[in-house]
Amino acid sequence: MASMTSGLLLSENVMLDLCAKAVAATMLSREIRGRIINMSSNCGKLGYPRLAAYCASKFGMIGFTQALALELARRESPSTPICPGLADTDRLDHLGRRPDGGTGGHHPLGRLASTEDVAEITAFLVSDGAAYVTGQAMNVAGGAINH
């Protein structure tokens, strides 16, 4: 079962990467400027036990997005991966992964990320204010990951 799950995770992220590549090709052929934002994870920056396939797929997504950023840079079409840490969503309860009863007190900022935290960095990255940001894997992890 683990290998089936691992294969599905890797396949899903490869498909997302191929979709981004197809969008980029269309943008280039039609001379459309825009931004590509891929959602990765802090698991794409640091391996975690029992999450090998997930971590591998997210590491791959970061590398893919950074390579795409270089390909699109001259066309002024930034490409950036976002790397959220644990976010305070119902999914944590479903997965049984709520680390400390829900407060995120072990994080440097003392709480888990909210969906609004992730939305705000996404909004910034698609704004004109982020025109010079490309390829940077942006952490939204409350200081838990610093690279």
| Residue of 13, 20, 54, 104 marked active site | 54
How far, in Å, CA of 66 to CA of 81, rounded?
8
Please confirm, yes or no, whether 54 is among the known catalytic residues.
yes
How far, in Å, CA of 112 to CA of 86, rounded?
6
How far, in Å, CA of 1 to CA of 4, rounded?
5
With beta carbons less than 8 A apart as the criterion, state whether 58 and 17 touch.
no
How far, in Å, CA of 71 to CA of 31, rounded?
14
Residues marked as catalytic: 54
